[in-house]
Amino acid sequence: MTIPLPDIPLRCWAEIDLDALRHNARVCRKMAGEAGIMAIVKADAYGHGLDRVAAALAEEVDWFGVANVREALRARAAAANDIPILILSPAVPDEVPAIVEGRFSACVSTREEVRRYGDAAAERSLPARLHAVADTGMGRMGARPEDFADLVAAIRETDNCELEGVETHFPSADEDPDFTRSQIAVFQRLLPDLDLPADCRVHLGNSAGLIAFQNETPRADLVRPGLALYGVSPLADSDAELRPVLHLKTRVTLVREIPEGTGISYGRTFISERPMRVATLGVGYGDGYPRHLSGEGAEVLVRGHRCRLLGRVTMDQIVVDVTHLDQPPIVGETAVLIGADRDEWLTATELASKAGTIPWEILTGITSRVERIPVRGG
């Protein structure tokens, strides 16, 4: 049951710029050249809201990529069209019938998986659309290169199964170009002996692969951008014209003057060395603002100025130093955690670096307590 809520102002929210999202899809398409675009919308579209993102991208991309059948069903309902949807993760046996019935595509690594899909497809008189995965170095799923031809043969030999695609995945395209090039070479050596159907899709490029290596993968006719769609480049030196899609904001809930020697937050890890003006903000790790930012020099934006985080991040609140502002902030005004404020920016990449993690985790870690609000040109 959905409980109606009164129109109460939010303490913490994420503005989702759908114009920026569509812009990024067009940037990815330009980089992809003749290849199609599979938009990766798993993990609630990297924390941006799967339903809204799928609806916004339905006319901009050629495929959706998801992690499981529940996400596939949500993406199809939101897109309201017959865009192909690939389930990227291995399916547990109980999911297989729903994947076949939903006419979704699935990734497989073993003959046993192929058999399951073949049995489910035969029982339903429907085709199982399968993508054979080659493990060229990710180590998470897929057939080893020496076993890949056998996996492809298993799909082609199994009644009711269609070889719709062949693929591999880059584990370190953003960190190790030499290893990535070795993966590309291994994968491309496998292809000539497979006698692939004319309509079989070949794909291996994630966001980093698309930005840095697309020109080195001539056989690829499909790319799988995720992070880049949301306006974050996995490559620090990229000149891709991406626009951040998510802007995370909160409100000032309290402003106080504190004397020298005041402890801030749990553990009293910060003790003021002088009188200060501090602001409490209505956000914490219960909203997905990482506790690992505590003591790491993290900042927020108040009136376009960077304000240092003081003490530990708590579940619902943080405290920041606003002593240097010309005028004290007003209770209720907005502070920016990710995004722009006047001429200053805080990026998910900066937060990730200070929290000792990656921007993917920052974005997907924003919790359901944070309402996503669509905006245009935010």
What pLDDT, in 10s, does the model give residues 21-64? Answer: 999 999 999 999 999 999 999 999 999 999 999 999 999 999 99
Answer yes or no: CATH 1.10.3720.10 is held by domain 246-375.
Answer: no
Beta strand extents in the chain (DSSP E only): 12-17, 36-40, 63-66, 85-87, 105-108, 128-133, 161-167, 201-205, 222-223, 246-258, 263-264, 270-271, 276-281, 299-302, 305-310, 318-321, 334-341, 344-346, 371-375
| Catalytic option among 30, 249, 266, 354 | 266
Query: For residue 263, what is the DSSP state?
Result: E
Query: What's the pLDDT at 125?
Result: 96
**pLDDT tier, 3 (very low <50, low <70, confident <90, very high otherwise):** low
Is residue 1's pLDDT more than 60? no
The C-alpha atoms of residue 79 and residue 83 are separated, in whole angstroms, by 8
- Residue 47 · residue 80 · CB < 8 Å: no
The C-alpha atoms of residue 370 and residue 47 are separated, in whole angstroms, by 10
**pLDDT tier, 104 (very low <50, low <70, confident <90, very high otherwise):** very high
Q: How many CA atoms lie within 13 A of 65 on its CB side?
A: 24
Query: What's the pLDDT at 128?
Result: 98
Other residues' Cβ atoms within 10 Å of the Cβ of residue 178: 7
The C-alpha atoms of residue 145 and residue 135 are separated, in whole angstroms, by 7
> What angle (nearest 5°) sits at the alpha carbon of residue 314, between those of residues 312 and 319?
60
Give mean pLDDT, residues 337-362.
96
> What angle (nearest 5°) sits at the alpha carbon of residue 199, between those of residues 195 and 222?
105
The C-alpha atoms of residue 156 and residue 129 are separated, in whole angstroms, by 11
Average pLDDT, the chain: 95
- 249 among known catalytic residues: no
**pLDDT tier, 236 (very low <50, low <70, confident <90, very high otherwise):** confident
**pLDDT tier, 318 (very low <50, low <70, confident <90, very high otherwise):** very high
The C-alpha atoms of residue 271 and residue 259 are separated, in whole angstroms, by 10
Q: What is the sign of the dihedral through the CA atoms of 25, 28, 34 and 38?
A: negative
Quick one: which of 133, 209, 139 has its CA closest to 175? Answer: 209
**pLDDT tier, 6 (very low <50, low <70, confident <90, very high otherwise):** low
State the CATH class of domain 33-230: alpha beta
- Residue 227 · residue 207 · CB < 8 Å: yes
pTM as predicted = 0.94
Percent of the chain with pLDDT over 90: 93
- 354 among known catalytic residues: no
Which segments of the chain belong to CATH 3.20.20.10? 33-230
Own/partner contacts of 332-335, CB < 8 Å, gap of 24 or more, are 332/9, 332/251, 332/252, 332/253, 333/251, 333/252, 333/302, 333/303, 334/249, 334/250, 334/251, 334/252, 335/249, 335/250, 335/251, 335/252, 335/279, 335/281, 335/300, 335/301, 335/302, 335/307
The C-alpha atoms of residue 10 and residue 369 are separated, in whole angstroms, by 10
Give mean pLDDT, residues 68-97.
96
- Residue 91 · residue 133 · CB < 8 Å: no
Pairing between β-strand 161-167 and β-strand 334-341 as defined by DSSP bridges: unpaired
Query: What's the pLDDT at 239?
Result: 76
Which segments of the chain belong to CATH 2.40.37.10? 246-375
The C-alpha atoms of residue 321 and residue 27 are separated, in whole angstroms, by 38
Angle, nearest 10°, between helix axes 111-124 and 145-157?
20
Q: 59: Cβ–Cβ under 8 A, 6 or more apart, which residues?
A: none
The C-alpha atoms of residue 83 and residue 272 are separated, in whole angstroms, by 57
Q: Side chain identity at 213, as an amino acid letter? A: F
